[in-house]
Structure 1
Amino acid sequence: MIPYMIMAFLFLLAAIFAALEASFSSWHILPWFNGMVWLRIHFITIGVMTQILFGVTPILTAKHYHLPRPKIRWDIWGLLNVGILLLLIGIPLVNKTPIIAGGTLVFIATTLLLIQLARMRAVSGQSGGPHNGRKFYISGLFFLLIGVLVGTGFFTGWSGPLGIVGDAGVQRIEETTNFSN
């Protein structure tokens, strides 16, 4: 859990610096650069909240089932953080390659966490109550998977087929990469 909390703290610091950048650009002290609005949002949602979610859910699930505290899964941690960093590079550049790669890595990390939570079972006869906790976490992670697909879809031209109304930089990507042909 400690590595996740360290990363959450780093993303929170980055979000604070992004907020300072926004105030400096509104005062015309620093120029605004492309994609900064999305970065401010994603430092909090993807950065901080995801780190906390990935760090805490295995511990809470193990505690609920009276299991020993699970060891950190470095594969999940690495995939998640490399994926987030690729997203944070690709979004302001409006470049679909790091966006797709980052979204894919976050998707894989989330799937591995889902598998880890699904394998946690109660010790024989020692259930901590109803089994709703694990199901709640698993359903939340499924919503995260949907969010990864939709968020990545914004930047790859999937908005139409997914029935999503919005821009999120799709026109800028089409102009720069010409992938609509």
Structure 2
Amino acid sequence: MRLLGALLTLAAAAALLANPPGCACDPADPKTLEARSCGLTREALAQPEDPPVFFLKDINPRKPNRWLALPRAVRKDVYSLSRLSPREREQLWAAAIAKAKELWGDQWGLAYNGDEVRTQCQPHLHIGKLIEGVETPNFVEVSSPAEIPVPERGEGLWVHPHGNKLHVHLGELLTESVLLR
């Protein structure tokens, strides 16, 4: 019973620290951008308007092999992939896949963490080498970045190549654990 109580407390604390719906990064109000959760939003605002997607090396020292792909667009209340336009999502996925191939050949993976476990408000994809043997039967197969489904209910997803198709694994929250640190 104590273990259950501890787990529920931990889950509640994680939800409080998570970004959506608690994000308040408003590019029109610089004071809101001071929050730690707006760090990637500040980075996006510092980028040139073109290209629409940019990349950052993950600054976490425990993730030396990771990169992030971020949309340059910053708008109030756009904190998840579902709030990006279809064109913005396709551009983000296509650019991230190109960068992943450049870095890892055909061993790449992309991960988008669910809302409850993200610590940054600006939508971003984790780029890394897919850990061998993580494939699960819970996926949909698509042919292009435009076909990658939008996660529902704040869920995350991860994507990797499978022949000339893409496997998109849905219904998870913490997805970046499928990538080499």
- Shorter-normalised TM range: under 0.3
Give the number of the structure whose residues are more often strand, by fraction: 2
Q: TM-score, normalised by structure 2?
A: 0.24
Give the number of the structure whose residues are more often helix, by fraction: 1
